[in-house]
Amino acid sequence: MKTIFHLDMDAFFVSVERILDPSLEGKPVIVGGDPHGRGVVAACSYEARKFGLHSAMPIRNAFKLCPHGIYLHGHYKEYVRYSNAVKNLLEKKLPVVQQASVDEFYIDFTGCEDIYGSAPDFAAALQKEIADKLLLPCSIGIASNKTIAKIASDFKKPKGITYVEPGKEKEFLSPLQIERIPGVGKKTFPILRARGFRTIGDLAESSPDYLSTLLGKFGTDLWEKANGHGNDILYSEQERKSVSKETTFDEDKVSKHEIENYLFELTGKVGQLLRNEEWQAQTISIKLRYSDFETITRAKTLTHPTDDDKIIFETARSLFRNAYTRRVGIRLIGIHLTKLNHFFEQEFLFDDEELIRKRMLRAVMKIRDKYGFSSIQIGKSGIE
Ligand SMILES: [Mg+2]
C-alpha cells in the first residue's frame, strides 16, 4: 500500500498577493479583476468566503455579497514564480512529485518513513518549512491513493493536515457529502441527489452496475472511489520522455497538401495522447523520410508548453514546409513531442479572447478524443 500526499496551497493567489502587499492581511481579498466586469473570481480569501464567496463565481455576484471587499487583477507571473518555488522545495526532498495545477502537488511518500519519520510528522514539518521559507500556507492530505489524499487535503482548511490511516479509507469517506469527490459537480450532483444519494457511504453501498446505468463509466469509477480504491500512480516528469506517431505510406507521396493532411491526423493522435495523460509538450519535432531513405528531423521549442492541437499542428506544418525541399517522394512522416510536463497553465492566466478560444478548442478536442479525429474539422483543411 502506498502513502500519497496531496498538498494544496490555501487561497494561493490571495496568499501571494499578501506577500506582495502585507496590508491585505486579515481582509476580504478577491482576485479576478474588475468587480463590475464579466469575469469570475479566480481566488478569494477566507475572510471573503464568510460572505458566501467562492472561486469560479461571477465577480459581479461576488461584489453584491461583499461590496467592501478588495478586488485585485492579480499578479499571475508572481503566482507561477511562487508555484515553482514550492515545487523546487518539494523536489529537493522527495523523488516523486507530480504537479497537478498551479497550487496543487501530489507526492509519493511510500518508503520514506526511515528517512523522514512518520507521514503526519513529515507533513507538519513540510507545512512549517513552506510557511517559514515562502510565507505560504497550505493544507495536506495523506492517504493510500490520490483521490482520498485530495479529499483529505480539503477536509481541514486552511493549514490543515488530515491523515487517513491505511484500512480506514471507507470509515473516513463514508460520512462525507458526495460532492467532496473530485468530478462530482454541476452535471452529476443533481442526478445523484435525485436518486437519494447524500453521502459517499450511500454510493459505496450502491452497486457499480446501478451507478454505471446512471452515469456510464464515471459511475463505475465513482463506486470504486467511494469504496476507497483509486489511482496511486504519480506522473512525474521523468517518466514519460516523449509522445510520437508516424505513418509510412504504401506509395511515396509528393503532394505537399496530402502530406500535410497526414500530419494533421498524426497531430490529433499525439494531442489526444497528451491530453489523456495530462501532459503538455514544449518541443515539437517532425521526421521526414524521402523515397531514397534520406531521413531528416526538424524541431522547434515553444515559449510555453501546450496540449493544443492548433499550436502543435501549425508548428509541425511550418517545420515540414521548411524541411521539404527536395523534389523526391516522401515515404514516411512522423511527429514527435518532447520536453513534457504536467504543469497546467490555468485558464485565468489568459486574457479573455485567448481564454474563449482555448475553451472552445478544448471542447472540440474533447469531442474528437471521444468520437474520433475525423468527427470535427475546423476551417477548410484542418485547423484554422
Ligand atoms: Mg488551493
Q: Are 138 and 130 in contact (CB under 8 A)?
A: yes
- Residue 104 Cα to ligand 1 midpoint, Å, equals 6
Name the band, by pLDDT with cuts 50, 70 and 90, for residue 345: very low
Q: Please indicate, yes or no, whether the overall pTM of this predicted structure exceeds 0.75.
A: no
Q: Are 335 and 246 in contact (CB under 8 A)?
A: yes
- Residue 279 Cα to ligand 1 midpoint, Å, equals 20
Strand partners, 332: 248, 289
The least confident of 52-61, 146-155, 256-265, 360-369 is 360-369
Alpha-helical runs (H) found in 253-351 = 256-276, 309-323
Segment 303-336, tens digit of pLDDT: 888 888 999 999 999 999 999 988 899 999 999 9
- Residue 249 Cα to ligand 1 midpoint, Å, equals 49
Instruction: Supply the mean pLDDT for the chain.
Output: 88
Q: Which residue has the higher pLDDT, 4 or 355?
A: 4
Arithmetic mean of pLDDT, 118-139: 97
- CA 228 to CA 87: how far, in whole Å? 28
- CA 43 to CA 359: how far, in whole Å? 20
Strand partners, 163: 142
Two domains, one topology: 170-226 and 242-375: no
E-strand spans in 35-189? 43-44, 70-72, 97-101, 104-108, 138-143, 161-163
What is the structure's pLDDT at 365?
Answer: 63
Q: Are 343 and 305 in contact (CB under 8 A)?
A: yes
Quickly count: other Cβ atoms within 10 Å of residue 92's Cβ.
8
Dihedral through CA 346, CA 351, CA 357, CA 360, nearest 10?
50
Strand order in the sheet with 280-290: 242-253, 330-341, 280-290, 295-306
CATH class of 1-165: alpha beta
- Residue 330 Cα to ligand 1 midpoint, Å, equals 50
- CA 278 to CA 235: how far, in whole Å? 9
- Residue 13 Cα to ligand 1 midpoint, Å, equals 9
State the burial class of residue 17 (Cβ atoms within 10 Å of its Cβ: 0-12, 13-18, 19+). Answer: buried
Domain ranges of the chain: 1-165, 170-226, 242-375
Name the band, by pLDDT with cuts 50, 70 and 90, for residue 211: very high
- Residue 116 Cα to ligand 1 midpoint, Å, equals 25
Q: Which residue has the higher pLDDT, 312 or 280?
A: 312
Half-sphere exposure of 184 (CA within 13 A, CB side): 26
- Residue 110 Cα to ligand 1 midpoint, Å, equals 24
Arithmetic mean of pLDDT, 274-289: 88
Give the DSSP letter of residue 37: S
- Residue 274 Cα to ligand 1 midpoint, Å, equals 24
Check 17, 47, 104, 224 and give the catalytic one: 104
Buried b / exposed e over 195-210, threshold 16 CB at 10 Å, is eebebbbbbbebeeee
Segment 346-377, tens digit of pLDDT: 444 444 455 555 555 566 666 656 555 555 44
- Residue 80 Cα to ligand 1 midpoint, Å, equals 13
In this structure, which amino acid lies at residue 273?
A: L
What is the structure's pLDDT at 215?
Answer: 92
Place of cell 479583476: 33
Place of cell 512522423: 334
Arithmetic mean of pLDDT, 86-107: 90
CATH annotation of 170-226: 1.10.150.20
CATH class of 242-375: alpha beta
Is residue 246 annotated as a catalytic residue, yes or no? no
**22 upstream amide cis, omega within 30 of 0:** no
